[in-house]
Chain A
């Protein structure tokens, strides 16, 4: 068996990980998925450890998923949302981090609007930092659960054709998926309106297209990103309807794709904007399975970084 090692105290992004490290997370997650099927959905792996969710952006699903994951590992969980913390009073991120460390938390899970914020935090702290989404940069656990779900459905990642559709420029989910999938040997096509494709995208090892039908034609799976018209004034599309017409994933469109194409979405979904209700609720959709798998993947990540931290000590 090839040597697999996990010696990192943090999970900052999939860009930093080797193929083997990603595979280790996925295989560890498989074991944890079994735990969630038991009557007693809990193992004592992180008993006595404290996981602190530090969220500078509102997020229910990711925060809850991390919370459930930590609890199933028997860790204690504390949630800090930006509104209730001293962040708004001008405390710097590093100071907040140092305070968390002083509270003797073991793992801080951070969601932040600035790309690179978790990396900066990790540099200043001895405790583990897990990136729960930073700016437009990375959302590693989301990509890991996407990949986990794909692997579970299809059995392998190598050679798969995966289309990522939507607001690529502002999507941390897209970036993490691109790193993870390409490292594992999948072929990734990204598809978005021309004006929101960031420059030099091809250099990340993906095919770029503005044609949705072309993007999904040969795809084994399509990952549909959430379109956020409210946040982004730079989008090329004036409104939801125009976007839905040109890029929305509909049953009509899927007829031209592979029969058993898998449709993923990181959620929360905008029905009738990037995806039709029929597809979201249809047989191709694995959206709810993604949510279930998110817990196993996050359990694996928390477990591994805790161990990495012990080794670092």
Chain B
């Protein structure tokens, strides 16, 4: 395993908070009726971002939108990249997604492969009217024709770099940093 050093901090807690408010506004603006919205977060950090967005919608619209979680392990196109011991986390979509507008939420958009897997899995749950993708960070380097509908921040990176989203719920603090492979 290569070692990574922290190179720079891209977003601080306040940046992330503002980002999520802006993204929620964008979602609501695009949707005529919040009732047709459902949120699905990709394990693990996508789920926490989805939870926050759900709260913001509640605050702004006084509406409860359903929230589902997705673990894409079984839909990956590579068994090994997971590394030894994938701890498969919960997939729970306890509502009908047919004819809904699904907002698929993840922390970082990179190759697009995770999103491909997530889309396949969503289709196994039903036939949504539309699926839109929300990511906190888009770092480029796509390997599939996939783009995000709502982007918190575009961060052009080199392939030696890595973007890490840290969230309070898991990491104890909110921040987005760029790591660089130490030679």
Contact between A and B in the complex (any CB pair below 8 Å): yes
Let me know if B157 is at the binding interface, CB within 8 A.
Answer: no
Find the B residue at minimum CB distance from A73: B74
Let me know if B88 is at the binding interface, CB within 8 A.
Answer: yes
Given that A34-B91, A38-B125, A40-B124 are contacting pairs, would A45 and B85 also be in contact in the complex, using a CB cutoff of 8 Å? no
A310's partner among B71, B79, B124, B125 (CB-CB below 8 A) is: B79
Q: Shortest beta-carbon distance, A17 to chain B, in Å?
A: 13
Q: Shortest beta-carbon distance, A32 to chain B, in Å?
A: 8
Find the B residue at minimum CB distance from A29: B88
Task: Return chain A residues, CB-CB under 8 Å to B73.
Answer: 31, 45
Query: How far, in whole Å, are A39 and B75 apart by their CA atoms in the complex?
Result: 17
Task: Return chain A residues, CB-CB under 8 Å to B15.
Answer: none
A303's partner among B74, B120, B124, B125 (CB-CB below 8 A) is: B74
Q: Shortest beta-carbon distance, B107 to chain A, in Å?
A: 19
Query: How far, in whole Å, are A44 and B120 apart by their CA atoms in the complex?
Result: 9
Let me know if A311 is at the binding interface, CB within 8 A.
Answer: yes
Asked if B74 and A43 sit within 8 Å, CB to CB, the answer is yes
Instruction: Count A interface residues, CB 8 Å.
Output: 27
Let me know if B99 is at the binding interface, CB within 8 A.
Answer: no
Task: Return chain B residues, CB-CB under 8 Å to A306.
Answer: 79
Which residues in window 276-313 of A have CB below 8 A to B? 303, 306-308, 310-311
How many A-B residue pairs lie within 8 Å, measured between CB atoms? 59
B74's partner among A3, A4, A35 (CB-CB below 8 A) is: A35
Query: How far, in whole Å, are A40 and B87 apart by their CA atoms in the complex?
Result: 23
Task: Return chain A residues, CB-CB under 8 Å to B182.
Answer: none
Asked if A311 and B84 sit within 8 Å, CB to CB, the answer is yes
Let me know if A27 is at the binding interface, CB within 8 A.
Answer: yes
Query: How far, in whole Å, are A31 and B124 apart by their CA atoms in the complex?
Result: 15
Task: Return chain B residues, CB-CB under 8 Å to A3.
Answer: 85
Query: How far, in whole Å, are A1 and B82 apart by their CA atoms in the complex?
Result: 17
Q: Shortest beta-carbon distance, A19 to chain B, in Å?
A: 14
Q: Mark A29-59, 1 if CB is under 8 A from B, else 0.
A: 0011011001110111100000000000000
Given that A31-B71, A42-B124 are contacting pairs, would A4 and B85 also be in contact in the complex, using a CB cutoff of 8 Å? yes
Let me know if A60 is at the binding interface, CB within 8 A.
Answer: no
Task: Return chain B residues, CB-CB under 8 Å to A115.
Answer: none
Let me know if B172 is at the binding interface, CB within 8 A.
Answer: no
Task: Return chain A residues, CB-CB under 8 Å to B92.
Answer: 34
Asked if B124 and A45 sit within 8 Å, CB to CB, the answer is no
B80's partner among A34, A44, A311 (CB-CB below 8 A) is: A311
Find the B residue at minimum CB distance from A303: B74
Let me know if B162 is at the binding interface, CB within 8 A.
Answer: no
Task: Return chain B residues, CB-CB under 8 Å to A210.
Answer: none
Task: Return chain A residues, CB-CB under 8 Å to B79.
Answer: 45, 306-307, 310
Query: How far, in whole Å, are A73 and B88 apart by their CA atoms in the complex?
Result: 15
Given that A44-B120, A45-B75 are contacting pairs, would A6 and B84 also be in contact in the complex, using a CB cutoff of 8 Å? yes
Find the B residue at minimum CB distance from A34: B91
Let me know if B121 is at the binding interface, CB within 8 A.
Answer: yes
Q: Mark B150-182, 1 if CB is under 8 A from A, else 0.
A: 000000000000000000000000000000000
Let me know if A211 is at the binding interface, CB within 8 A.
Answer: no
Given that A35-B74, A40-B124, A43-B74 are contacting pairs, would A310 and B80 also be in contact in the complex, using a CB cutoff of 8 Å? yes
Asked if A307 and B74 sit within 8 Å, CB to CB, the answer is no
Query: How far, in whole Å, are A62 and B80 apart by their CA atoms in the complex?
Result: 28
Let me know if B26 is at the binding interface, CB within 8 A.
Answer: no
Asked if A307 and B86 sit within 8 Å, CB to CB, the answer is yes
Let me know if B90 is at the binding interface, CB within 8 A.
Answer: yes
Query: How far, in whole Å, are A284 and B79 apart by their CA atoms in the complex?
Result: 40
9 residue pairs bridging A and B, Cβ less than 8 Å apart: A6-B85, A27-B87, A31-B89, A31-B90, A34-B92, A35-B74, A44-B75, A45-B74, A303-B74
**Partner-A contacts on B (CB < 8 A):** 71, 73-76, 79-80, 82, 84-92, 120-121, 124-126
**Partner-B contacts on A (CB < 8 A):** 1, 3-7, 24, 27-28, 31-32, 34-35, 38-40, 42-45, 73, 303, 306-308, 310-311
Known: A4-B87, A39-B125. 18 other contacts (CB 8 A): A5-B85, A6-B85, A24-B87, A28-B88, A31-B71, A31-B90, A39-B126, A43-B74, A43-B75, A45-B73, A45-B79, A307-B79, A307-B82, A307-B84, A308-B84, A310-B79, A310-B80, A311-B84
